[in-house]
Chains A and B, each alone.
Chain A
């Protein structure tokens, strides 16, 4: 029998993108938006998460490993894909390109984000994030990172529904595209609202 490892790697990549990576991102952006309720409320939710049992194991198995796999394998996909949106300008082909561009942006952003927060050696709290977004370059990089990752999640979900044979016909795929557009806007708004909250309190 021929090799089927590529099939499993791809399907695992697709599955991990949704469970747990997308679920984590939605949860993460939602928790961050408690910053809009004030520094105290934000610090309370951070403390709530920090108080969970087996946190290190959960973090490693359900966030770090899947994210690493999805990211690294995604880079491989992005750099082995062909790009012909210049010749074939149809909407879906452009989305195909944007999915890969947003993936690369998200990858770079997440590495930087982990470096400046989780592995920065500083305690995770409101002031730490506020100090990061105080720098306008870092603030705008975070905005781009949030919007790009929200796009990658929404468009990825659209592809996931096809890769798992859920949205089969063109009509259902179109409806799902509109729904995913909505998810992109909502997630971006939630993420950006938190960043604005971190920025505004310092000013």
Chain B
């Protein structure tokens, strides 16, 4: 057993939001095809650090394990990404795991992403269809638009774009790139478009689209390759047009 190949992990840990962080190193047995989550499960199975001390197992979040839920986003070797698709074979060792610190840390690699949900609520990122009677089928969507809108719908609120954005920091209130892209998605939806002005008004609000500084890190880190910068530019056009002409109609 002693000759078995081991994976070297350096984990940035923290007991809760108020305590200070520390790093702890682990060496876990290697199996072929492992991802970062499998390595974290090995720590859970045998929570011993490299000094041989028994420690509390590292806490993390994950669900689907197929890059569809967004829950396991963490900073792996300096870049925010999903731990499930971060294969050990493709990573340089030692593998450095950190929580996405743009969010409040709950414990170890677990962060509180409520601000993303709040942002989606603020920009009304949904299609309102509830009523007291059957509203019937909605209007059809052009196939040409459906194709790119589908790409935007792949957003699973993982927060990688929020983590990488320099304009999301303690001095600003920027809601983040994903929310702007979601406005574009729902303003394109033929039924969602009936409430487009409400979402545009929200993007003009505090921490809205104007906080974007075009560093374009978001599009680089998005695990679903969503054209976030295209969405931002397209929404800039929509928002400015609305802002500059709406008062003329009042």
Contacts and interface: CB of A to CB of B under 8 A. Distances in A.
A81 B233 contact: no
Given A6-B210, A11-B210, A96 B233 contact: no
B202 to A, nearest CB: 8
A1 B208 CA distance: 13
A6 B166 contact: no
Main secondary structure of the interface of B (DSSP, over half): helix
Contact of A11 (B206, B215, B243): B243
A4 B211 CA distance: 12
Contacts, number: 108
Contact of B215 (A3, A8, A96): A96
Contacts of A93: 166, 215-217
Given A163-B236, A164-B237, A10 B217 contact: no
A167 B230 CA distance: 9
B237 A7 contact: no
Nearest to A8: B243
A165 B229 contact: no
B166 A82 contact: yes
Interface in B145-194: 164-169, 171-172
Contact of B237 (A2, A81, A168): A168
B234 to A, nearest CB: 5
A48 interface: no
B205 interface: yes
B164 A88 contact: yes
B206 A88 contact: no
A1 B201 contact: yes
Nearest to A77: B213
A70 B171 CA distance: 20
B50 interface: no
A170 interface: yes
B78 interface: yes
B240 A170 contact: no
Contacts of B236: 162-165
A92 B217 CA distance: 8
Nearest to A14: B210
Interface residues of A, number: 34
B93 interface: no
Given A93-B215, A162-B214, A165-B238, A173 B166 contact: no
B227 A170 contact: yes
B17 interface: no
Given A81-B213, A84-B217, A90-B217, A7 B204 contact: yes
B232 interface: yes
A7 B164 contact: no
Interface in A114-138: none
B220 interface: yes
A180 to B, nearest CB: 12
B40 to A, nearest CB: 22
A85 B229 CA distance: 18
A44 to B, nearest CB: 41
Contact of A90 (B171, B209, B220): B220
7 contacts: A7-B204, A81-B167, A84-B166, A92-B215, A163-B214, A163-B236, A167-B233
Interface of B: 78-79, 164-169, 171-172, 201-202, 204-206, 208-211, 213-217, 219-221, 227, 229-230, 232-241, 243
